[in-house]
Amino acid sequence: MKKRSKRLQVVLDLAERKRKQADQWLSQSQSRVQQGEATLEQLRSYNADYANSFYQVGASGISPGQIATHQAFMQKLSGAVQQQEKALQTDRAQLEKVKEYWQSAYQHFKAVEMLVDKLRREESLQAEKQLQKELDERSQLIRPPFI
């Protein structure tokens, strides 16, 4: 019969695979949030820059058509900012769920790893005891020459 630690090695391998997959998902989710934050910051910066440049140009006088074009563009830009904020909010919520999953997978892996290590130590101790027992039995079988 196989040792318990050997049988549980399969469970440990599966837990490790699950943990590594969770690591990848966590990394991807964090990257997605970072990219979303960077994109949102760029949109806000562009929005502010465009508004400031338009107001500077507008101080010298602009036509009603230019005002209408500016307002339409600013509305589209504001819509893009809102859309990015919603996407970022969704990405952050997903990141929290992925973190929970990663934590669960990591804890499971560590628990199985500790169990396998404990079983290996116990099996090693038992093997040492068995070896010592065999050595003791053999030493009793050998008769000294003076008897």
Task: Look up the CATH number of the domain holding residue 35.
Answer: 1.10.287
CA dist., res. 94 & res. 29, Å (int): 7
- 89 belongs to a structural domain: yes
Q: In which residue ranges of the chain is pLDDT below 50?
A: 1
Count Cβ atoms below 10 Å from residue 110 Cβ, excluding itself. Answer: 12
Q: What residue has token string 């934590």?
A: 103
Residue 144: which region, alpha, beta or left (left: phi > 0; alpha: psi -120 to 50)? Answer: beta
- Per-residue model confidence (pLDDT) at position 144: 65
End-to-end CA distance of the chain: 42
Q: Specify the number of domains making up the chain.
A: 1
Q: What is the DSSP letter of 144?
A: P
The reply to whether the predicted model has a pTM over 0.75 is no
Question: Is 1 within a domain?
Answer: no
**Rg for the chain (alpha carbons), in Å?**
34
Contact between residue 74 and residue 47 where contact means Cβ atoms under 8 Å apart: yes
Question: Quick one: pLDDT at residue 138?
Answer: 83
Give residue 130's domain range.
Answer: 17-141
> What per-residue confidence (pLDDT) applies to 135?
86
User: How much is the pLDDT for 1?
Assistant: 40
Q: Is residue 11 included in any domain, yes or no? A: no
Residue 147 domain flag: no
Helix, strand, coil percent values for the chain (each to nearest 5): 90, 0, 10
User: Within a domain: residue 30?
Assistant: yes
